[in-house]
Amino acid sequence: MRWMVVSSMVLLAGCLSERQGTVGTPGGDVTDTGGVADGAGDTLVATDTAVGPVDSLGSPDTVHVWDTGGGAVDTAGGGDTLPTVDTRVVDTAGDGEVVTLGCPAAVITVAEGAEVLPQTLLHLSGEGSHGLAPVVGYQWTVEQPSGAASVFLPSASSPNPMFEVNVAGTYLFHLGVVDAEGRASCQVATYLVTVTPVAALHIELLWTSPGDDDETDTGYTAFGESVGTDVDLHLLDSGGVREDGQPAWFDTRVDCYWQAPAPGEIRFDASLDRDDTDGAGPENINFGSPGDGASYRIGVHYWDDWGYGLSYATVRVYVHGALVYEVGPTEIRNFDLWEVGTIAWPEGVVTPTGGVTPDYPVPFF
């Protein structure tokens, strides 16, 4: 079976050579039926010559056109991809007769690239999107790692939003566009970003608070109250014990946390790189050179619920960029201390303790 799909694509005018160009479907090709392919206003004919998506009746298939070398668009002689308009094949009557709709093509670029570190602020752009008419509308969405709560800034409808990737893992961005004549992109564009920590030891804390209706908001109210819950990550040096033999939590010499983001002990070069005081997290600690034969305690303290009630905390441990341990969600309440576990180095093995101490006494209060 063969179907002929016709689309008048003004954007393609002046862009194709008279030679055939490859279509992104098996057996497809593009020929010029109007004489001079690089003349303005030509009609292009895409003919499917083998089984492929073009002859799938009723489905929103997309045809992509590439320059195969030479011609007006290939000004550098490199066979560059044309900025084409997608073509959607639609069986409008169910009788096998197909028509095409010229759809704007959504295009995503990310200035920082596809592989970045945690806490990178991405600069996304959809301004390369194009159509038969100017693109005027943008809609971004993202599939981000479990527990991540970042949002597009200034909004998900901006042509060039920013997005902070705070949680390790993969982020799959999607973009759909609309042109000035109301045509929507036939196919959303996607862009995958991988976020990988590089420190020898990377620890992440995330939490969710059911009583907080909007965990993505930030800052404080007019009355000086946080708009979210404040949960803190701690990493205690192996030598961090009190005189009574108990762990020396909140000792700024040996405990890495919000008040001591870089503890004073020279041999303990861990650093708290993100302190989230208004909900969801993450907080993370990076440790570049843990001591061989040492062990470190991981703790979570519920500093202040600000009236939002209980939270559920999750901790993830990465060793040389690989996730080696995840625990939670664990229920914690205001002022609780959750002793998550102990990590031995260089084995990178976490031994859970799992104990939650209610109303843990902070020594400087």
- How confident is the model over 304-324, as a mean pLDDT? 95
Phi, psi of 317 (to 5 degrees): -120, 125
Token pair, residue 44, equals 């292009």
Residues 6+ apart with CB under 8 A from 228: 209, 212, 215, 217, 218, 277, 278, 279, 280, 306, 308
What pLDDT was estimated at residue 276?
Answer: 83
Strands 115-116 and 189-195, by their bridges, are parallel
Beta strands in 105-187 (DSSP E): 109-110, 115-116, 120-125, 135-143, 162-165, 169-179
Specify the amino acid at residue 182: G
What pLDDT was estimated at residue 280?
Answer: 77
Check: pTM over 0.75? Answer yes or no: no
Assess whether pLDDT exceeds 90 at residue 168: yes
Q: How is the chain split into domains, by residue range?
A: 4-101, 109-195, 201-357
Token pair, residue 248, equals 């020396």
Stretch (H or E) spanning 195? strand 189-195
pLDDT band at residue 174 under the 50/70/90 scheme: very high
Give 233-275 pLDDT, tens digit per residue: 999 987 788 888 889 999 988 999 999 888 865 557 899 998 8
Q: Tell me which architecture the domain covering 109-195 has in CATH.
A: Sandwich (2.60)
What is d(CA 55, CA 298) in angstroms, rounded to the nearest whole number? 58
Give 22-70 pLDDT, tens digit per residue: 333 333 333 333 333 333 333 333 433 333 333 333 333 333 333 333 3
3-state secondary structure of 10: helix
High-pLDDT (> 70) share of the chain, %: 69
Assess whether pLDDT exceeds 50 at residue 175: yes
What pLDDT was estimated at residue 326?
Answer: 96
Token pair, residue 59, equals 């489905």
